Every structure is written in structure tokens, then in C-alpha cells.
Amino acid sequence: MWQKTNVTAFLVSGIAGTVPGVVGQPYRDASGNEYLPMFVQPVLVYEADADALRRAYERALARSVTPAIYTRDLFETNHDAANRAAVAAVAAEDLDLVGLAFRGERKTVDKIVNRLRFHP
């Protein structure tokens, strides 16, 4: 279970770090303590088997939606440069995807995630 949540956290960091306006302002409590900002919209998490994940990946690319990807190889790496090298060593059609994250217009996203189930 920890790997699922860890993969989810890694994937959404790609959205938070690259999509302007997706993260709000820092929070501040009445005592003056400041807290980190968060996404301004809900994050929807789906589950999928390998075939459905591949289908969503291909749909995203076909619609010019750039995903964050997490591949099975990344479970064996231990730093960012090794992660990028592991992805760079594999052709797109051979990536062993275990997770995706993306952001887009609602109609487009609905087409990408069609037939996927929300993660319980």
C-alpha cells in the first residue's frame, strides 16, 4: 500500500511543479504560523490494470496531454537522475507503466480516463 501512495505523490508533484496556477497561496493560522500551499482543485485518483493504464497513456498522448509517468523500473532506482535514466533507456511502447498523472480540460480528461474506476 505504501508504494501506491508514494507513486501517487511522485506523480502529482509533476503537475504541481509545472502547471501555473494549479497550486494556491500558502495557508496561515490565527497564531501566525504559515503552511505550504496545496492544489486549488480536487485530485481524482483512479485505478487500472496494465492494459487500461496503457490505454489511458496512449489517449493522453494522442490528445497532446503530457503525463507524468511512473514505471516499474523506478522502484529499483534511488535518486532523480537514475529515475530519468531508467525512463530514457526504454522506448515509449515498452514502458512498463504503473502510474500516470495529467491535467487537462475536463472533456479531454474524461475521454482519457473513460472506463477507469475511482481508487477506493
Closest CA to 59 of 112, 21, 12: 112
Enumerate domains of the chain plus CATH numbers. Answer: 2-118 (3.40.1490.10)
**pLDDT band (50, 70, 90) for residue 120:** confident
Closest CA to 67 of 82, 55, 57, 53: 57
Say if residue 1's pLDDT is above 80.
Answer: no
Closest CA to 97 of 76, 119, 68: 68
| pLDDT tens by residue, 16-71 | 989 889 999 999 999 999 999 999 998 999 999 999 999 999 999 999 999 999 99
